[in-house]
Structure formats: structure tokens, C-alpha cells
Amino acid sequence: MEKYISVKDLEEAAIALLPQNARDYYKSGATEEFTLKENKVAFQRLRIRPKCLVGVLNYNLRTKVLGQDVSMPVGIAPTAMQRMAHPEGELANARAAEAMGTIYTLSTIATSSIEEVAAAAPKVTKWFQLYIYNDREVTRNLVLRAEKAGFKAIVLTVDTPLFGIRRADIRNKFTLPEHLRLANFDGYLSTKIHSTSEGSGLNEYVNSLFDKSLTWGDIQWLKSITKLPIVVKGILRSDDAVKAIEAGGSAILVSNHGARQLDGVPPTIEVLPEIVEAVKNYNVEVYFDGGVTTGTDVFKAIALGAKMVFVGRPALWGLAVSGQAGVMKMLNIFRTELEYTLQIAGTPSIKDITKDMVRHESEYYKLVSKI
């Protein structure tokens, strides 16, 4: 594992290892993939403004998220069907998060069940990502099982009335490999994804089973069946952030679904500040995902108001390369890069990372033009 010194190294190795069906599914974005590129490029337009001579002998990456202690503000985002990347799939990912003292988020459409993940990593802080199905009893059962298994939050994805157009999946006629199933379900719901008439089998699955009629009022229904906090994932507008909290959400996860839903939406780092500003009087936490590949990306997101940063594809790359060890390597890369960034930027702890630590490049252009 010593040869992998960046998340990019892990990504390149994983891309070379994965079969085409899985590789294209994991790495692709919607249509022209403009937003997929912008998710990363937007970070490059932010400049860190380091403070000097502040004394950094004692630096600390620890923070609290929904009252839970975590070792660093980097957790694992929900990604589907992880056994396509490695035979242990979600179990290896959860064990890595447990070993590193951070949060693991399990997808509804996982290839390991709620109960399997709970047994594999009993001490990890586990969140469950939820899609709401047309059959509300299916949804209710998922939520109750997650609560019983010790999960600490429900991450409700709100940006998917249907899945976006991912051209690679259409070309590949993507389906889950026959030896795998959607493990949170039995019977038809666990294997329907294997069949496709044309195009993406996953899109056909979602279009026929996910509830397109959802409104903000359905968060109240969700609150009526669980005592767990609800993290609302997929917010890109300040007014939606307010609606989510007023409807009963406990936290906001700013996300454009890895740029996999609608091409042309803004990169998430660009909308993060307006979301943070919109909910500042509601005493809620704001989280972030999208395009994060370095410790400096994490630093910039925190400076702009994120309490926690989640990574999806990087976890898949580590998983594909070497299972649990690969995911731990990925998390350790983020930890090391963030440790260096904190010390060199003159911010010894996470709480010292404030908004004035970053500035958009355009502000420097304005200053230069005045000279």
C-alpha cells in the first residue's frame, strides 16, 4: 500500500482493476459530465490564506457530528452496490470507518444488508441512506430495521424522483452482476435490477419503484415512524435548505449526487456558503460532499461552513484496490493531508478553520485590477 500516496493514485489503480460495467457505473456522471468535472475544478478556484506564527504544537482533527465524537471531519458517503468493487463490499468499508473512528453511511441499494453491516462493524457510527419507495411499508421496514440495528441517523436523499441519464450505463446496459443482489430486500425487490429491456437496469428499477410524488410534507411522515435524526441530502438551494429544516430535518447534506443526476447544476462547493447562511439561525449542522479528493479540499469545505465532509468515490477506489486496507489507506491519506494543512495554515484545530481562511480567486483579480 506504500506506493499509494494520493487519492488520485488509488483512483488510477482502481480504474485499471475494475471490470467495465462496475468501473463506468462508479465513475460516470450525468449526460455531458460538465458538473462532474466542475465538482473538482471549483475547489481550485478557492485560495487558502494561511496564518503565521500561531503555535501548532498541539493540533486536533476531532469533532462532533450529531452529538457523536469522530476522529476527523471526513466520513464515508453512501454509494450503491459496493460488492462490485470487492467481495466484502460494504462490510469492508464499514470496518475501515470503524477502525478510523469516523462515520459510515450505508446505501438503501447496497449489496450487504443493514444487519450484515451492523454485525461486521458494531462500534462504527452508522447512518442509513434512504430512498422512499412507492410501497411505504417497504420504506417503513427499512427504517425500523436500521433503528433496531443501531444506526444513528437516516440520510434522506431528496434529489432523485428518478435517476439521471448516465450514458455509460445506457451503453453498457448496466445491471448488477448475477451473483449479487440488493441485500436489503427479499425476492423481486432484490433481483429486479438484473433484468433490463434496454438501457440501464438501475434506471428501470428506480423509475418503477421510487416514489416520485414526494413533497416536503413527507418528512413529517418519516419523522412519525422513527426517532432517529433525519439528514436531508441533495440540497442545492438556500430556500430548499430552509424548507428541509422547517419540515423536520435535523441537518443538511449539500450534495449534487456526485454530479450523477442533472448536468449543469453548480458544483457543491459553490453553493455551500449560501446554504450555511440560509440555516444559520436554525441551530443545525451542514455537511458536504462532491469532488473532494484532497485534504485541502476538506479544509476549504470546512472553512465555508461544512461541519463534516463525506467522500464516496474515493472509498470505492480504496475498496477496489485492497478491500478494508484500501479504504483505510484512503482515509489515512485524507487524515495526513488535513493534518499538514491545519498546521501550515495556522489552524491547530477544526474549530480554528474559519471563513476568512479561504478566498475565491476572483477576489484577488479585483484587488489586482485596482493596482
- Extract the C-alpha cell encoding 166: 448516465
Catalytically active residues, by annotation: 257
Element of type H or E holding 142: helix 136-148
Residue whose C-alpha cell is 487519492? 7
Residue 181 exposed, middle or buried by CB count within 10 Å (0-12, 13-18, 19+): buried
Q: What is the CB neighbour count within 10 angstroms for residue 40?
A: 17
Residue 146 exposed, middle or buried by CB count within 10 Å (0-12, 13-18, 19+): buried
Element of type H or E holding 251: strand 251-254
- Could you tell me which of 259, 53, 228 has the C-alpha nearest to residue 148? 228
- Extract the C-alpha cell encoding 291: 469532488
Is 126 within 8 Å of 153 (Cβ atoms)? no
Backbone angles phi, psi at 291, to 5 degrees: 80, 10
What is the pairing mode between strands 68-70 and 125-130?
unpaired
